Structure 1
Amino acid sequence: MKWQQALKDYQLFLKIERGLSQNTINNYALDVFKLINYLESKSISKSPITITSEIIQQFVYELSKEVNTRSQSRIISGLKSFFNYLVFEDYINTNPLDLIESPKIGRKLPDTLSEEEINNLIGAIDLSKPEGERNRAILETLYGCGLRVSELINLQISDLFFDEGFIKVTGKGDKQRFVPIVGTTQKFINIYKNQIRHHLTIQKGHEDFLFLNRRGKQLTRAMIFTIIKQLAEKVGLKKNISPHTFRHSFATHLLQNNADLRSIQLMLGHESITTTEIYVHMDKSHLTEVVNKFHPRR
């Protein structure tokens, strides 16, 4: 079996059997390409089914010189998934990464913004320009609904159920969920939709996407990052923020105001509650206040 065919079959498996998004599938493929590039650089002629643990150990050793422990761990995890697929398809008997341990990494808590910092960022938007109303609606939606950036740019007008107070969000693996949307966020979306978007010349195939660029096409992930970075510079914010920071802030502020983890999990679209539990570690002072207020032995 050749690498090209194995990788093609693996990507098809990830799409059809596991229902992963194309972005996630590409990331898994990149991990395999790193191993392929290493083999080529060392003139090691091996097919995927003849790779040994020793070769993987050499690869991981070289990898440790180039990337941090978090990246090493992610790449090792991606390769384990690839070789598990080969085991599943009976191409190999054992996974050569079974005895390879990922480096120990500390749990990195996500950055968050305070309510004041979020207000400052939104307040810095220049509403005299047409894209200003759009950008305000974007930030209000990121923070008000806790969306991933991919979910935001793929949000469609047909996904808005304002009368019921929800939006339909398509998340990882094309899994859909309904997320509550507050009146304030609805108001700013409607201002953009009715006063700005309505006057754009919308390109074919982009008619239903909510957030568009000036040429009437769906916004890219990179554009959302750029909008936020520019606003952070404008207000002199020293934190390294991204669209995901608004999602983290959404979850953290809900927790601080006594929302339960299960509800936050459903709104964020986390498959496992353990993913949501990272927010518990973010504000221990809040947890102390909860115990002091509600525990019968307080």
Structure 2
Amino acid sequence: MNWSNSLKQFQGYLQVEKSLSGNSVEAYLRDVKKLVQYFDSTGQKVNPLDVEASHLQGFLEWINGLGMTSHSQARTISGIRAFYKFLIMEDLLNADPTETIEGPKLQRKLPDTLSYDEIVSLFEAIDVSTPEGTRNKAMLETLYSSGLRVSELIELKLSNLYEDLGFIRVTGKGNKERLVPIGRDALKYIRVYLDGVRRHQTIKKGHEDFVFLNRRGASLTRVMIFNIIKDLAAKTGLEKSISPHTFRHSFATHLIEGGADLRAVQEMLGHESITTTEIYTHLDRDYLKQVIQDFHPRS
């Protein structure tokens, strides 16, 4: 088996069986192609089934010499590991050459968060006397209430709003659906927007089921959400660099600080692995340390 054939099979697996987005599929293929590039540039004739740990060790030294960051190296290794797991699953290979390979040690970066007071300040700065302000209030309340990704917010459908139950159905990474609770305030502002603004719009064909629309009656873009939040931060004098994801981080952090079960937070965020959610326990420990420093007489 050559690289071209194995990459085609891997691509089909990622698209059909894993249901990954086009961007995710391209990222995985790019990682494996980097390994192929290494063999070509060093004049080694090695097919995918003959790769050994020693080859991969040389590859790691090569990409390090290219000046790739630790995070980029780790991402590339992760993609190559997924490729070899696929080959083993297809019974094309018996032993995984990536098993003994160690990637660069990464320092876990804690995400930026907003305090509850900062979130309230942002919400209060929205001019709800305008149609756009009414929509923006509903959107940001939804982001913070349910911890959605920005893509999940702009893809939210009317048919997936269960107002009577207090839940929304969202489609996350890998086209995986999940039910997420939504707070009373968020539902209230969504209803105000739907009845007071959206109902009076001329909606473009194909966009009838999207909850949040722009002035032309079409669904919003990620960039628009980023700009709305950036403008609000400037309006309130907030010096932190924030994005839609900051509301998701704040949602999770405030839940953990309030004593929420980690498994429940994982479910609401749509994390495949609980280790991804565990980063918020680190944030919680920082918060607890700060409480000690601020209030303990012997700190």
Q: Common fold, TM-score beyond 0.5? A: yes
The structural deviation recorded for 1:42 is 5.6
Structure 2 CA distance for partners of 1:127 and 1:69, relative to 1, 3 Å: same
| SS of equivalent to 2:15 | helix
The structural deviation recorded for 1:267 is 1.9
Distance 1:58 1:214 in 2: 55
Q: Summarize deviations over 1:158-182 as a string: whole Å, max 9, x none.
A: 1111111111122233332222211
Match of 1:118 in 2: 119
How many pairs are equivalent?
Answer: 290
Distance 1:5 1:283 in 2: 48
Match of 2:190 in 1: 189
Q: What is the aligned-residue identity percentage?
A: 54
1:7 aligns with 2:4: no
| SS of equivalent to 2:110 | coil
Q: Provide the alpha-carbon RMSD of the alignment.
A: 2.9
Structure 2 CA distance for partners of 1:73 and 1:201, relative to 1, 3 Å: same
The structural deviation recorded for 1:187 is 1.5
Q: TM-score, normalised by structure 1?
A: 0.83
Which 5+ residue runs of structure 2 have no aligned equivalent? 292-299
Distance 2:80 2:280 in 1: 29
Judge which range, 45-54 or 137-146, deviates more.
Answer: 45-54
Alignment of 1:41-120 (within 5 A): 47-64=47-64, 65-120=66-121
Distance 1:16 1:133 in 2: 40
Match of 2:250 in 1: 249
Distance 2:125 2:43 in 1: 55
Match of 2:180 in 1: 179
| SS of equivalent to 1:169 | strand
Match of 2:148 in 1: 147
Match of 1:295 in 2: none
Which 5+ residue runs of structure 1 have no aligned equivalent? 291-298
The structural deviation recorded for 1:126 is 4.1
Distance 2:51 2:180 in 1: 45
The structural deviation recorded for 1:8 is 3.0
| SS of equivalent to 1:283 | helix
Structure 2 CA distance for partners of 1:230 and 1:46, relative to 1, 3 Å: farther
| SS of equivalent to 2:197 | helix
| SS of equivalent to 2:106 | coil
Judge which range, 82-91 or 70-79, deviates more.
Answer: 82-91
Alignment of 1:196-215 (within 5 A): 196-215=197-216
AA aligned opposite 1:152? L
Q: Summarize deviations over 1:74-119 as a string: whole Å, max 9, x none.
A: 2111111112212322444444433321111122222111112212
AA aligned opposite 1:85? F
